[in-house]
Structure formats: structure tokens, C-alpha cells
Amino acid sequence: MISTNDFHNGISIELEGEIFIVIEFQHVKPGKGAAFVRSKLKNLRTGATVDRTFRAGEKVAQAHLDRKEMEYLYRDGEHFYVMDLETYDQLILSPEQIGEGVKYLKENDHLNVVMHGEKVVGVEMPVTVNLKITETEPGLKGDTASGATKAAILETGVTVQVPLFINSGDKVKIDTRTGNYIERV
């Protein structure tokens, strides 16, 4: 059990059979009445965020999560196969468990699988990935300072916006949280 007074960003709690991560919290001490904690929580199973208010000092169950680094092996239809790097055990993940990161996943990538006991509750992708451009319009020499972008298809099949000077075959760094181009690698 943990007191709501001890909340901090990133802590995991268990409420009503669901596991949440504290994204934001604020201790509020009104002039009249009891103090309370206003929080924004992210449901690890669904990815939805909820606002929740607790009484100051209220006790909630802390969820103990394990993060295991695993390697993505391959996709078989709707299932993604990953391997534990320590025990070499294989695990089957669904697209829902991986979330938005599925668009940037390629074979042999490493990712963190978040587990609560033996149950997979989520997957943490690396913040950035390096991917090859498979298809885009030819780049124009000297078009580096205009800030204009064009569509490019990555080796995983997802389309992103890149600067005009990027060509097919170039490797680019992509932010997996936003899907934005960062730089040419």
C-alpha cells in the first residue's frame, strides 16, 4: 500500500482490478475543507487516461511491475513473437499489447515488456528507431533550409513526413512517441 501523499510521476498503482501509471499529480490544500490529491492516471491495459481525485493520505495498492528486455523475432498473422534475452523463452504478443509502437517494429529490435506477475500489461518501445526509407520522391539538391516536407514510406510500411532532401534508401531516425522525423542517420 502507498499513500497518495507519496505519489510521483511514473509510479504504478492498482485500482478496481486495473493497473495505472501516475502521469501527473497535484496536492491541493483549499482554504476550507480537507486537502486532496488531483491526479491523471494512464490505464496500462487500455492506454486510456483518467482524472481521479483522492483524499490526502488515502492508501492505494501499489502495483509491482517487472520490465524485461526482449528481442522482437517475427510476426505470424496477428501475433508478434518476442524472446527473453536471458532465458530465451518466447512470448506471443498481440497488437493491442504493443500499442502504437507496432508501426515501427522490425525484426531483431529490442523492447521492454512490462509484466505484472506473469501477465503482460504493456510494451515500452525505444524512444527512437532507425528505419530505412523504401519509397519517396527524389530529393532535390540544395533543398535543405526551406522546412518543406514530403511523404516517405518506411521499411515497416508506415508513412512519415521527411524533409525534401531525403531520398529512397536513406536511413532516418524516427521518434516512436510522435511518429516524427528527427534526423538522417
Length of the chain: 185
**What band does 54 get if pLDDT is binned at 50, 70 and 90?**
very high
Neighbours of 102 (CB within 10 A): 19
Q: What is the predicted pLDDT for the residue at 40?
A: 93
Pairing relationship of beta strands 18-28 and 12-15 according to DSSP bridges? antiparallel
Percent of the chain whose predicted confidence (pLDDT) is above 90: 30
pLDDT digits (tens, 9 = 90+) for 35-46: 999 999 988 777
pLDDT (tens digit per residue) in 121-151: 888 888 899 999 999 888 666 656 567 888 9
| Distance of alpha carbon 162 from alpha carbon 150, whole angstroms | 6
Cell numbers representing residue 117 in the block: 506477475
Q: Judge contact between 99 and 121, C-beta under 8 A.
A: no
**Closest of 16, 40, 48 to residue 122, by C-alpha:** 48
* The predicted structure's pLDDT at residue 171: 93
pLDDT higher for 97 or 171? 171
Rounded Cα–Cα distance for residues 49 and 40 (Å)? 7
DSSP state at residue 104 = G
Q: Which domains does the chain have, with CATH numbers?
A: 2-62 (2.30.30.30), 66-124 (2.40.50.140), 128-184 (2.40.50.140)
The 8 Å CB, 24+ separation contacts for 176-184 are 176/100, 176/101, 176/104, 176/125, 176/126, 176/127, 176/128, 176/129, 177/127, 179/100, 179/103, 181/149, 182/128
* Whether residue 178 has pLDDT greater than 90: no
Q: Which of 85, 178, 165 is nearest to 129 (CA)?
A: 178
Q: What is the pLDDT of residue 142?
A: 62
